[in-house]
Amino acid sequence: MTQSVILLQTAPGNSFSLILLAGMVLVFYFFMIRPQQKKAKQAKQFQENMQKGDKIVTIAGIHGTVNKINDDGTIMMETSPGSYLKIEKSAISIEWTQNINKAVVAEKK
């Protein structure tokens, strides 16, 4: 019975620690986990919306054009006329591809 009394006496300090821990978890979620989930969702949508003829850039910096989209999660990329590479869809850099396509649109205006 003396042990339960000791636990009740230290409870106010423990509740502050729990509140602090919960706050840290919320901050971690909103600044780390949620943005990563949003970015992953955008990447998946980007990969699903790719079409033949789109200009792309891989994460290795290789520029090319989508020639064929395969069912196994790969694409055939034409790097120069008659030269093809088979790459994974996940190897396409979304940021670099969007930047190169923005530059092309800006040049057309």
Question: Among candidates 105, 62, 107, which has minimal Cα distance to 87?
Answer: 62
According to CATH, the topology of domain 51-108 is: SH3 type barrels. (2.30.30)
For the chain, the domains span: 1-49, 51-108
The answer to whether 87 touches 74, Cβ cutoff 8 Å, is: yes
Please give the DSSP secondary-structure letter assigned to residue 30.
I
d(CA 75, CA 63): 13
Predicted pLDDT at 88: 94
Q: What is the pLDDT along the chain (109 residues), one digit of tens a residue?
A: 455 544 445 556 678 888 999 999 999 898 999 999 999 899 889 888 989 999 999 999 999 999 999 999 899 999 999 999 999 998 999 888 888 888 766 666 6
Rounded (10°) angle between helices 34-48 and 94-108: 60
